[in-house]
Structure 1
Amino acid sequence: METKVLDIKGKEKGTCALPDSLFAVKANPTFLHEVITAFLANQRSGTADVKTRSEVSGTGKKPWKQKGTGRARQGSLRAVQFRHGGIAFGPTPRSFRQDLPAAKRRTALAMALSTKLAEGNLVVLESLTLKEPKTKAFAEIMDVLAAGRKPLVMDNFADANAALACRNVAGLTHIAPQDANAYVVLNSSKVILTTDAVAKLSDTFAKEAK
């Protein structure tokens, strides 16, 4: 499979070969849902915590005697029904981690990249270089490429000016190709790859993706 290669001004500069194992894989929504759900679960810190009645500060004395007051019987002011009492059934620190085989993650990435290519939302650039590290200059490149509100740029950014300029572009995500995953690809409005990034993706994932 081949696709056009553009320069930063949007002009065609040639073609680039794309490995079928990464860019011609039929998407399976159920499979992608499983992988992306696991990815998002693994981003959770799981540190939410509340104090139970055994942990809140306060007296352990019985508020009033058991019988004869006309009020409901109570054993502690730290019980959940009282102000400043403990919390019942609240969250405690836990791990949300879901382990997935590496082969599943690679296959999901291939499905995501193939989907973006089929939609026409994947662009290959000859290179990403700037004369100055200006955010405005990088944003103009995104406008030329019609990158949308949430572009994803995959490149190792050998050019220091481009690496600095992309940091403040609103909505833009930039990652190294070897760190790519299905979620960031599908969550983007357009995927922008350099030819170097395509080569790195191929070396890292193409041989093992199915």
Structure 2
Amino acid sequence: MVDCVVRDWQGEEVGNASLELRVAKESSASHVVHRALVRQLANARQGTASTKTRSEVRGGGRKPWRQKGTGRARAGSNRSPLWRGGGVIFGPKPRDYSVKMNRKERRLALRTAFQSRIEDLIVVQDFADQLPQPKTKELAAAIARWGVPQEAKVLLILPERAENIYLSARNIGNLKLISATNLNIFDLLVADRIVTTAAALEKIQEVYGD
């Protein structure tokens, strides 16, 4: 179990929240997290890159010139891979890059990655009522009060999408907003700081705590 300090809208400490997740063994934790990260990045690839071989390029049906007597190298087609406008040798073709990983292992990797970022985790009280209307400047100022450096990449985790918070956050370039039920390995690892509300922390333990 890990205890986290909870801060209010002004950045003052107002209580504590606990986090208890079943994580991978220290000897295998990095391997499990790495596999999950590779899977996510691989599954995000479209795999639609495609080039044409010499048999697919238009033209090239007639021999460019006779075999002998011209002084030039022999050529059978102007769509040879050696020619400009010809086919491509061993070029990419559409393929499936997806990597399979068991659901239990994926969830274990997610819990392990989240708990490994505990030093960079900032827990705050629910602040939806502090933004009755979208105000990017107020949200940015609050994030600074919570101790987040200005240039840091921030992952903001909420229990569910709040429209005013979303509209306030979307113009902050280094801030990404996700819900507690949509956690993913890449976002957890790439962020410099992770900000979550106490309610979102409870939601994470409820959804991923098995």
The normalised TM-score by structure 2 is 0.89
Q: Deviations over 1:96-146 (max 9, x none)?
A: 0001111111111111111111xx200111113213201111111221223
Q: Secondary structure at the match of 1:57?
A: coil
Q: What residue is the counterpart of 1:128 in the other structure?
A: 127
Aligned partners of 1:105 and 1:181 also within 8 Å:
no
Q: What is the CA-CA distance between 1:182 and the residue it aligns to? A: 2.0
- SS of residue paired to 2:74: coil
Give the corresponding residue for 2:147: 146
Q: Distance in 2 between matches of 1:25 and 1:195?
A: 27
Larger displacement relative to structure 2 (32-41 or 66-75)? 66-75
SS in 2 for 1:170: coil
**Helix, strand or coil: the match of 2:101?**
coil
Which residue identity lines up with residue 14 of structure 2 in the other structure? K
Q: Which residue of 2 aligns with 1:179?
A: 182
Matches within 5 A, 1:162-201: 162-201=165-204
Query: Aligned with 1:191: secondary structure?
Result: strand
Structure 1 residues 25 and 110: alpha-carbon distance in aligned structure 2, compared to 1, 3 A threshold: farther
**Equivalent residue, structure 2, for 1:37:** 38
For structure 1, the residue ranges without an aligned partner over 5 or more in a row are none
Aligned to 1:81, what secondary structure does the other structure show? coil
Taking the aligned partners of 1:75 and 1:206, their CA distance within structure 2 comes to: 66
Q: Deviations over 1:42-75 (max 9, x none)?
A: 1111111112212222241001112222222111
- Quick one: distance in 1 between partners of 2:17 and 2:88? 60
1:35-114 equivalent positions in 2, closer than 5 A: 35-114=36-115
Corresponding pairs, count: 204
Q: Tell whether the 8 Å contact from 2:7 to 2:146 is kept in structure 1 after alignment.
A: no
Question: Which consecutive residues of structure 2, in runs of 5 or more, have no partner in the other structure?
Answer: none
Q: Distance in 2 between matches of 1:31 and 1:163?
A: 32
Secondary structure of the residue aligned to 1:30 is: helix
SS at match of 2:105: helix
Find the aligned partners of 2:109 and 2:33 in 1 and give their Cα distance: 6
Q: Aligned-pair distance for 1:25?
A: 6.9
What is the identity percentage for the equivalent residue pairs of Structure 1 and Structure 2? Answer: 35
Question: Given the two structures, how large is their TM-score scaled by the length of structure 1?
Answer: 0.89
Distance 1:18 1:25, change over 3 A: farther
Three-state SS of the structure 1 residue aligned to 2:22 is helix
Regions of 4+ moved over 4 Å: 24-27
Note if contact 2:159-2:181 (Cα within 8 Å) is conserved in structure 1: no
Q: Does structure 2 retain, via aligned residues, the 8 Å contact 1:154–1:191?
A: yes
Instruction: Provide the C-alpha distance between the structure 2 equivalents of 1:20 and 1:51, rounded to a whole number of angstroms.
Output: 50
**Which secondary structure state, in structure 1, belongs to the residue aligned with residue 46 of structure 2?**
coil
Report Cα offsets for 1:28-48 as digits up to 9, x if no partner: 222221211111101111111
